[in-house]
Amino acid sequence: MKILVLNGPNLNLLGTREPEIYGTVTLLDIEKEILEYSKSFSGVEIEFFQSNHEGEIVDKIQSAKELYNGIIINPAAYTHTSVAIADAIKAVNIPTVEIHLSNINAREDFRKKSITALSCIGQISGFGKNGYLAGLFCLVKYLEN
């Protein structure tokens, strides 16, 4: 089973600013933890991708067809704006879980609406880096059934 973990704009800056919202760990730390946790499931392979560009994220999702069984995505700010990413997820028809480090429902009004979640099987928000691990667990169980 192959899972693509996709992170959107500015998440490459994790650990450098706004630690009160996003914590102190870097994206590389999170990726290492996901990789470590993935070993507790047999036959699960992970690939990581981060981009600050909407079109690159759309291209990556399109190219995931036939290559990946599932996607874990934190679309970051594109969560609230990107019909293009939502359409790409729908088009490839790959089960996708949306993750947010912060609790987007407890922040500014504009963050409460997720356009991309409309195309996802579920969303985990507010549990920091552990959200990615919970998302992997839920996605693997979903794909096994």
Query: How many residues line the site for ligand CA2 (CB under 6 A)?
Result: 17
Number of Cα atoms under 13 Å in the Cβ half of residue 37: 18
Of 68, 78, 100, 132, the catalytic one is: 100
Two tokens, residue 90? 């729908």
Instruction: Check binding of 129 to ligand CA2 (CB under 6 A).
Output: no
What track of x and - describes contact with ligand CA2 for positions 2 through 21 (by CB under 6 A)? --------xx-xx-xxx---
User: Where in 83-102 is the site for ligand CA2 (CB under 6 A)?
Assistant: 100-102
Burial environment of residue 82 by CB neighbours within 10 A (0 to 12, 13 to 18, 19 or more): buried
22 labelled catalytic? yes
* C-beta separation of 78 from 54 below 8 A: yes
Catalytic residues: 22, 100
